[in-house]
A and B are shown apart, each in its own frame.
Chain A
Amino acid sequence: MVIGPFLMIGLTVGISYVSANSASSSKQVAVISSSRSLRQAYLQQPTDNINAKITTTQAAEAAMKKNHLAGYLKLSESPQQVRADYHGSSRMASGLKAQTQNFLSQYQQTRNYQQAKLTTKQQRLMARTPVLQQHIAERAGTANLAKTISFWILVTMIYIILITYASIAAQEIASDKGTKIMEIIFSSTTATSYFVGKIGGILLVILTQIAIYLVGGWVAFQVAINNAALKPLITQNQSLIDAVLHNLLNLNLLYLFLGVIIYTILAAYSGAVVAKAEDASKAAQPVVMLGMFGFFATFPFQNNLDALLVKILSYVPFFSSYFMPMRIINGTVSGWEQAISLLILLVAIALFAGYIGSQYQRLMLQTDNRNFWQHLIHGWRRQS
């Protein structure tokens, strides 16, 4: 389970590499021309996916039949005009098409100037082109992208860890329900101690998993920056990577952990209120549903973090673990607001754990058929 994501990433990279390698030769295009100078002029451009070894139409068609070539470009020139004919099993790739059109225009223009016998001044005038300049605030663009990436990484991590461990906690506890081993345990220690110990054990497993992911991520990053192929990509996106890491390795990590704790406690409660051990598989459903609700509720608000509902939910336990990190990433929440939300979450966890701990023995030892709500109401009545 813990190494699952690593296996998935490894598998994806492996499949992509094999797929890219096998696909690369069939994407190539050959350039054929009876004019050696025209062909050389074309090949002097910085181009990808050009097979320069094939020089004849017959060889190109043979290679196409074997699926080693996507097509071939036949260049020809008459005294008036330069011409390119593309032969392929599908249309030219847009990049290659634009590049070829550019080459033909320049080549034709050069020939036109020569044939028009223009003076140098006239040639200079004719060479004037309009200016199109894009002015992009690169830092803001990177920051927005970093926010989006950070948001997705964080909510997905919360969701996956929460769903996984909520199911484990609920099933683990539900399967103990009504068993005599619980009587032996409760004759040896208090139900509250046992409950807190059980939740603590599950949380240590979760912490171990998060630690493995952090170490695994660091190792993968080290491998990537020492890899010749990936290093330029990382250097190019260094500011983006730094921004994403900054967004993840702060209070948000605590929100992730506390979110998982409160959902795990709820899952344990769900496990404890199932009617019998055989219902263990159903036990996690309410928690999974709530977790899914929180996860999907974040989607519409990604770009609307000023909405009142977002502000409210960022203080409500079970939802604050999704919504407050969104606001923190976006930088639209003050330190005080973060502290208040965190305090509410911590108090809720303590109260919730205390309440369930006090009910745990009764819930685990009884084997009646009351449902979740009946148990809850019964529990409250006993408290009052």
Chain B
Amino acid sequence: MLSIQHISKQFGPVKALNDVSFEVPNGQILGLIGQNGAGKSTTFHSILNFIKYDGTISWQGHALSPADFDTIGYLPEERSLMTKLTIEQQIIYLARLKNQSAKDIRPQIDDWLGRFAVKGTRKSHINDLSKGNQQKVQLICTLIHHPKLLILDEPFSGLDPVNADLLKQAILRARDDGAAIIFSSHDMENVSALCDQLVMLRKGDMVLNGTLSEVRNQFGKTELYVTTDWSATRLATLPAVDHVEQRQPGQYRLHLTDPAAGPSIFAELTQGHYIEEFSQQPPTLDEIFRMKVGETNA
């Protein structure tokens, strides 16, 4: 388990992290969200001991040491490979730094290239690959040694939906193998699809922490999704409805000021008759993100 307890980091006058605490148990995925400059990369750099910080970070009950390096897989935010090498040379070079033998890694390369649908062979030079394929090679380098702690900084950035799905499958496979995984993303859909837990940082402060449902439910079931022949104007007259947003013709999202108003709205809208859709939910992660960012900007 990765345990982060009360870590803080100051860069000159800027407080990059302020008393941040969370845990990532083995076999679970934690999503780290936040605007640019919120402190996500600083958190990763602290875990990897790239920078000095106040607080405690432990892995499997002890401070992270060079002895643990072989069990870590790290994907930095910006991609960077040794462009003069071939795919095979690059993968083996980085795997050997993780104490893997070339003899063990070499036979796995074709399988990994196939799994990520890399356009190129093991003998292709990194320089000759497209940006997307370079990114996939870097992902292979991060995963090929079967890390127990996986740190992925914006892993989906630049990937098309098909390749993003390939990455999701790889992350889920690593989770099933028992790895503790922490990743940052701006794409709330990916975070919702993958994460067991969620932490949101805002200007170094931790503003959200919990499982996905815990985080969503703490905002109350303020979103009502209905399909009806009522007009938006008429829907707005319903009790506790703050505003109405039309999703599709006949499909609306009603934002409620009081989640307790749900049953009375249901009664008034249906009048005891069948209704195609009536779903009261907490805000989506995307909405929560915008809401939390909006709090700062307000």
- Give A residues with C-beta under 8 Å from B: 179-181, 183-190, 361, 365
Contacts and interface: CB of A to CB of B under 8 A. Distances in A.
Interface residues of B, number: 21
A183 B66 contact: no
Interface stretch (B32-40, B73-81, B205-213): B73-81
Nearest to B81: A181
Given A187-B48, A188-B69, A180 B82 contact: no
A181 B97 contact: no
Interface of B: 45, 48, 50, 66, 69-70, 72, 74, 76-82, 94, 97-98, 141-142, 151
Given A361-B50, A365-B50, A187 B69 contact: yes
A180 B77 contact: yes
A180 B41 CA distance: 12
A188 B80 contact: no
A190 B74 contact: no
B98 A184 contact: no
Interface of A: prevailing SS: helix
A190 B141 CA distance: 18
B71 to A, nearest CB: 11
B74 A183 contact: yes
A196 B42 CA distance: 27
Contacts of A190: 66, 69
A184 B74 contact: yes
Contact of B141 (A179, A184, A186, A361): A184
15 contacts: A180-B79, A183-B76, A184-B74, A184-B76, A185-B94, A185-B97, A186-B48, A187-B69, A188-B69, A188-B70, A188-B72, A188-B97, A188-B98, A189-B97, A365-B45
Nearest to B12: A368
Contacts of A180: 76-80
Contacts of B80: 179-181, 184
Contact of B82 (A181, A189, A361): A181
Contacts of B78: 180
Contacts of B151: 187
Contacts of A186: 48, 50
Contacts of B142: 184
